[in-house]
């Protein structure tokens, strides 16, 4: 099939090229020249006429009403025809194979026209026309075959008139409705012809016409005409489904004069709209410029609990040393100033204060009681002054101590075993009054600590990890950051260089943390040797882990005025035997070369020796190691 | 007991509401069709049907026209094929009125039958035409979509015309002699082979002509039967 088609194509191409030169061209331009307009075809014709001598041919065949049609011919150039009557028109109706050529039913020699009336017109049947001259010379062109429905050009409409539809509020433009009647020759009422109309209009002196879409109704609206200008309108028709347009109708003129009365109203509306727009813009500008204030008013920030003396910004930035300094710095007297500096603007800041016991501590003057102790209500064994008396009424969550469960040894045992920071010496625990700590090591693989004879309780800080809940209802805490370093020389042998892995909150199990107790008896020198400098803190012998036990304090006369006693956690080395229970929450200070973490364990300030009314200001809450802090450290 | 009562009451309510709505709907149906003109009111739906069918046939004619001109682009545009085509239309055997007067003189039933015959006669040829079109790579997708559309439209138009005929028979406008007499079997036996030998171009030309005939006849029929509604 494709081959045949292409063959056809070639053949036809060849034939047409041959034909092109000889024939005068298709005058009718019916089906196949749908694309071209009649004007173009006429131009082609004229070209050919000038170019070569042309034989007689038909110029056009047209029907106006789909019932009759006419054809016009021209005699051509190269024949010297005396009279136009010499040429005769013959037509052929191809509705049967045995059709023959018949002569034109009605001549009009003046116009060189042949008219076919209704009796001789059949639609949908091809007609072919030819001219015959003298001596039966026929001039026949295959192109002069057509069907009548394809050559219809309807007449233009009649009785055009226009009415003003509406004028715009400004009075500058208006809409017009144009109406007309269908051409009388076209039989629209019986439905025989279906006609579409096309309106074109232009300004009086313009050259180009504007055309609206063809539509089948007998009226149409023209929108947007300018007042004061005169417009010219005309209409033409065509058959629906066929491309050929008829002639244009006569033009009508449309004009509307301007109406100036409406200007004031227009001006007023304009002013109003612009004013409103301007005001809106101003409001927007105000809002944008005072955005923050407005935001503060509309969406006040949510107050968050703050810890006195600690600026959350410092925590965010990871400046631990400063934080340390702040917390422990400048003695106790330094804190209030910090507090006032940080929080003077924020009256809503509530401080969680950690108070200290009063001076009537007696032996336990130096012993501080952490909040957790009070929370737990654990027996402050040897201390008799843990009474909830002189606490300022702060919302610090302190609990008064009570003497419950004191006697239950199992709970203590349990607590002892669970709490890593506990003095490993259960026996010491069990026998609270024994001074001599048992030399047995605890069974727990956790940190060995120097345990005192005194059953020490956890010297935990404000934030401590709950390790377990006792059946009796109490809460067992892990030691937190407070290291309980028992000065037990007897325990030296028991010390192992272990890990603080469990207790540290750092997720680096491969690191070994070693808590070094600078405070330990006899080890301070080593510790100082190992000391890696952290600026604000200098290891002072005698300082270090602040314990609750007055005893170590007694032996160490050094005043715990130095805030910063950071026991350093050094990587495990055989030399260091000292270790202390590592808190659950520790701060990683640095990474040293061995990829070990150096923890910074700020400790609480040692309570001043029974200073009256000395609330402990520094709860040492640097327990949190957040990932960004870690990042800061490691970087 | 309370629950039962509630159920009964709700059921009764639902029933009442349904009744109201259905009655409203039925009244609405009757009301919306014939607002003011009472004389030719019953013919309005028929006029609407006619309009739709005529629109359909106009569209069909448009598509066939487009396809025909596209085909002419492939073949020679200058050569007028009209002269040689006329003999080959397979629908030439169907006697159709070729003028306005003939079309007006003919009986309505006959006219309707002619329309149906024409539609039936083109069903298969168009389908095969579409098949052959889709196999050729030369023709664009656009053309092949159009040929499919054309083939579908013939089906749809035939159904539409049958509906119109039914309606007319119901209204007593035409007799019951028009039916599915234009069944494909009757035609196929007579000229089953003719259209297969037609070339594509000739087929398109013939269909274009016939679609115009159908459009014309439909319009004439409408204006004869329901002249007041838009003629």
* Mean local confidence (pLDDT), A250-256: 90
Whether A65 shows a pLDDT value over 60: the answer reads: yes
Nearest to A94 among B83, B96, B104 (CB): B83
Question: What per-residue confidence (pLDDT) applies to A423?
Answer: 44
* Mean local confidence (pLDDT), B49-77: 85
Whether A392 shows a pLDDT value over 60: the answer reads: no
Question: What per-residue confidence (pLDDT) applies to A601?
Answer: 55
Considering only A190-194, A352-356, B12-16, B145-149, which range has the smallest mean pLDDT? A352-356
A253 or A387, which is more confident?
Answer: A253
ipTM higher than the 0.90 cut: no
Establish if A31 touches chain B: CB-CB under 8 angstroms.
yes
Note whether A187 contacts B212, CB cutoff 8 Å. Answer: no
- Do A238 and A153 touch, CB atoms closer than 8 A? yes
Question: What per-residue confidence (pLDDT) applies to A157?
Answer: 94
Whether B121 shows a pLDDT value over 50: the answer reads: yes
* Secondary-structure breakdown of chain A: helix, strand, coil percentages, each rounded to the nearest 5: 25, 20, 55
* Mean local confidence (pLDDT), A488-515: 44
* Mean local confidence (pLDDT), A238-248: 90
Question: What per-residue confidence (pLDDT) applies to A623?
Answer: 55
Q: Quick: pLDDT tens for A620-635.
A: 445 555 666 566 655 5
- Phi, psi angle pair for B56, to nearest 5°: -60, -45
Show the tokens assigned to B135.
Answer: 């196999």
- Do A143 and A109 touch, CB atoms closer than 8 A? no
Question: What per-residue confidence (pLDDT) applies to A144?
Answer: 73
CA atoms within 13 A on the CB side of A381: 22
Whether B27 shows a pLDDT value over 80: the answer reads: no
Establish if A7 touches chain B: CB-CB under 8 angstroms.
no
Whether A208 shows a pLDDT value over 90: the answer reads: yes
Q: How many residues does chain B have?
A: 231
Q: Quick: pLDDT tens for A18-58.
A: 444 444 444 454 443 343 333 344 444 444 445 566 777 88
Whether A542 shows a pLDDT value over 50: the answer reads: no
Q: Is A8 exposed, middle or buried (0-12, 13-18, 19+ CB in 10 A)?
A: middle
Whether A592 shows a pLDDT value over 80: the answer reads: no
* Mean local confidence (pLDDT), A227-243: 90
Note whether A20 contacts B68, CB cutoff 8 Å. Answer: no
Chain A's closest residue to B78, CA to CA, is: A32
Whether B143 shows a pLDDT value over 60: the answer reads: yes
Whether A238 shows a pLDDT value over 70: the answer reads: yes
Question: What per-residue confidence (pLDDT) applies to B144?
Answer: 77
* Mean local confidence (pLDDT), A567-587: 52
**How many whole angstroms separate alpha carbon A339 and alpha carbon A210?**
84
Average pLDDT in chain A: 65
Note whether B78 contacts A192, CB cutoff 8 Å. Answer: no
* Mean local confidence (pLDDT), B90-102: 85
Show the tokens assigned to B126.
Answer: 């168009």
Chain B's closest residue to A92, CA to CA, is: B83
Give the pLDDT band of residue B68 (cuts 50, 70, 90): confident
Q: Which residues pair with A93 in a beta bridge?
A: A127
Coil/strand/helix, residue A282 = helix
Whether A325 shows a pLDDT value over 50: the answer reads: yes
**How many whole angstroms separate alpha carbon A259 and alpha carbon A267?**
14
Provide the percentage of residues in chain A whose pLDDT is more than 90: 15
A612 or A196, which is more confident?
Answer: A196
Question: What per-residue confidence (pLDDT) applies to A48?
Answer: 45
Whether B169 shows a pLDDT value over 80: the answer reads: yes
Name the one residue in this structure whose structure tokens are 């000065």. Answer: A487
Question: What per-residue confidence (pLDDT) applies to B170?
Answer: 85
Note whether B82 contacts A147, CB cutoff 8 Å. Answer: yes
Question: What per-residue confidence (pLDDT) applies to A1?
Answer: 56
Chain A to chain B Cβ contacts (< 8 Å)? 128
Note whether A19 contacts B61, CB cutoff 8 Å. Answer: no
List the single best residue of A30, A32, A34, A147 to mutate versus B (max B Cβ within 10 A): A32
Whether B148 shows a pLDDT value over 60: the answer reads: yes
* Mean local confidence (pLDDT), A260-287: 85
> How close does chain B come to A225, measured CA to CA in Å?
31
Chain B's closest residue to A189, CA to CA, is: B231
Q: Which residues from B are below 8 Å from A97, CB to CB? A: 87
Whether A276 shows a pLDDT value over 90: the answer reads: yes
Give the pLDDT band of residue A433 (cuts 50, 70, 90): very low
Q: Which residues from B are below 8 Å from A143, CB to CB? A: 78-80
Nearest to B83 among A15, A125, A145 (CB): A145
B185 or A355, which is more confident?
Answer: A355
Give the pLDDT band of residue B98 (cuts 50, 70, 90): confident
Note whether A147 contacts B104, CB cutoff 8 Å. Answer: no
Q: In 10 A of CB A254, how many CB atoms?
A: 21
Question: What per-residue confidence (pLDDT) applies to A222?
Answer: 93
Note whether A34 contacts B58, CB cutoff 8 Å. Answer: no
> How close does chain A come to B146, measured CA to CA in Å?
16
* Mean local confidence (pLDDT), B17-26: 79
Q: Quick: pLDDT tens for A68-113.
A: 999 988 877 765 655 656 778 888 887 777 778 888 888 888 888 8
For chain B, what is the largest distance between any 2 Cα atoms, rounded to a whole number of angstroms? 92
* Mean local confidence (pLDDT), A282-290: 90
């Amino acid at each position: 099939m494709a081959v045949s088609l292409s063959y056809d194509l070639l053949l036809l191409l060849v034939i047409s090229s041959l034909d092109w030169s000889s024939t005068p061209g298709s005058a009718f331009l019916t089906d196949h020249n749908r694309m071209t307009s009649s004007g173009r075809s006429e131009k082609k014709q004229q070209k050919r006429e000038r170019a070569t001598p042309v034989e007689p041919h038909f110029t056009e065949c047209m029907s106006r009403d789909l019932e009759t049609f006419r054809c016009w011919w021209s005699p051509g150039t190269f024949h010297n025809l005396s009279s136009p009557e010499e040429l005769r028109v013959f037509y052929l109706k191809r509705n049967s194979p045995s059709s023959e050529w018949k002569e034109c039913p009605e001549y009009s020699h003046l116009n060189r026209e042949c008219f076919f009336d209704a009796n001789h017109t059949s639609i949908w049947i091809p007609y072919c026309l030819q001219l015959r001259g003298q001596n039966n010379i026929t001039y026949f062109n295959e192109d002069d075959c057509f069907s009548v429905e394809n050559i219809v050009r309807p007449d233009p409409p009649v009785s055009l008139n226009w009415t003003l539809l509406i004028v715009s509020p400004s009075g500058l433009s208006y809409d017009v409705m144009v109406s007309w009647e269908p051409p009388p020759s076209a039989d629209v009422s019986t439905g025989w012809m279906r006609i579409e109309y096309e309106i074109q209009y232009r300004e009086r002196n313009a050259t180009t016409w504007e055309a609206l879409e063809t539509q089948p109704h007998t009226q149409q609206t023209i929108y947007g005409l300018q007042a004061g200008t005169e417009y010219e309108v005309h209409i033409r028709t065509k058959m629906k489904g066929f491309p050929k347009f008829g002639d244009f109708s006569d033009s009508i003129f449309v004009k509307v004069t301007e109406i100036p009365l409406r200007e004031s109203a227009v001006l007023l509306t304009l002013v109003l709209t612009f004013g409103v727009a301007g005001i809106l813009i101003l409001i927007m500008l105000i809002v944008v410029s005072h955005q923050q204030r407005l935001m503060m008013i509309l969406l006040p920030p949510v107050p968050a609990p703050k810890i006195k003396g600690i600026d959350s910004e410092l925590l965010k930035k990871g400046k631990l040393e400063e934080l340390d300094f702040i917390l422990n710095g400048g003695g106790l007297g330094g804190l209030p100033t910090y507090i006032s500096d940080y929080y003077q603007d924020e009256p809503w800041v509530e401080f969680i204060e950690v108070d200290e016991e009063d001076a009537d501590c007696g032996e336990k003057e130096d012993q501080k009681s952490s909040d957790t102790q009070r929370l737990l209500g654990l027996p402050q064994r040897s201390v008799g002054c843990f009474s909830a008396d002189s606490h300022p009424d702060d919302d610090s969550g302190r609990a008064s101590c009570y003497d419950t469960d004191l006697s239950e040894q199992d709970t203590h045992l349990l607590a002892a075993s669970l709490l890593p920071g506990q003095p490993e010496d259960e026996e010491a625990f069990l026998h609270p009054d024994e001074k001599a700590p048992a030399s047995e090591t605890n069974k727990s693989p956790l940190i060995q600590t120097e345990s005192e004879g005194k059953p020490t309780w956890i010297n935990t800080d404000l934030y401590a990890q709950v390790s377990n809940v006792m059946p009796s209802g109490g809460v067992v805490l892990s030691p937190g950051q407070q290291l309980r370093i028992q000065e037990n020389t007897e325990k030296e042998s028991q010390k192992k260089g272990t890990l603080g892995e469990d207790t540290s909150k750092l997720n680096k199990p491969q690191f070994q943390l070693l808590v070094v107790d600078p405070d330990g008896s006899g080890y301070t020198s080593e510790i100082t040797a190992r000391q890696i400098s952290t600026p604000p803190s200098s290891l002072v012998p005698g300082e270090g882990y602040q314990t609750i036990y007055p005893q170590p304090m007694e032996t160490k006369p050094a005043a715990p005025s130095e805030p910063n006693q950071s026991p350093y956690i050094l990587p495990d080395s055989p030399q260091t035997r000292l270790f202390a229970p590592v808190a659950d929450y520790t701060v990683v200070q640095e990474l040293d070369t061995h990829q070990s973490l150096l923890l910074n364990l700020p400790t609480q300030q040692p309570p001043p020796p029974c200073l009256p009314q000395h609330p402990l200001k520094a709860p040492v809450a640097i327990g949190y190691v957040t990932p960004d802090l870690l990042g800061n450290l490691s970087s | 007991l309370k629950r039962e009562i509630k159920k009964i009451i709700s059921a009764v309510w639902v029933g009442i509401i349904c009744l109201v709505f259905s009655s409203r709907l039925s009244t609405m149906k009757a009301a919306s069709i014939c607002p003011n003109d009472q004389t030719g009111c019953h013919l309005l739906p028929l006029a609407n049907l006619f309009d739709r069918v005529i629109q359909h046939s106009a569209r069909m004619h448009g598509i066939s026209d487009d396809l025909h001109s596209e085909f002419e682009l492939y073949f020679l545009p200058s050569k007028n094929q009209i002269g040689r085509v006329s003999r080959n239309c397979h629908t030439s055997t169907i006697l159709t009125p070729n003028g306005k007067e003939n079309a007006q003189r003919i009986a309505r039933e006959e006219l309707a039958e002619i329309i149906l015959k024409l539609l039936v006669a083109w069903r298969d040829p168009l389908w095969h035409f579409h098949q052959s079109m889709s196999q050729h790579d030369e023709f664009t997708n656009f053309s092949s979509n159009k040929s499919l559309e054309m083939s579908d439209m013939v089906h749809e138009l035939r159904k539409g015309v049958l509906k119109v005929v039914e309606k007319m028979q119901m209204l007593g406008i035409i007799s019951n002699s028009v039916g599915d007499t234009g069944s494909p079997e009757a035609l196929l036996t007579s000229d089953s082979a003719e259209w297969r030998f037609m070339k594509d171009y000739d087929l398109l030309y013939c269909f274009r002509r016939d679609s115009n005939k159908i459009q014309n006849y439909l319009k004439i029929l409408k204006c004869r039967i329901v002249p007041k509604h838009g003629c």
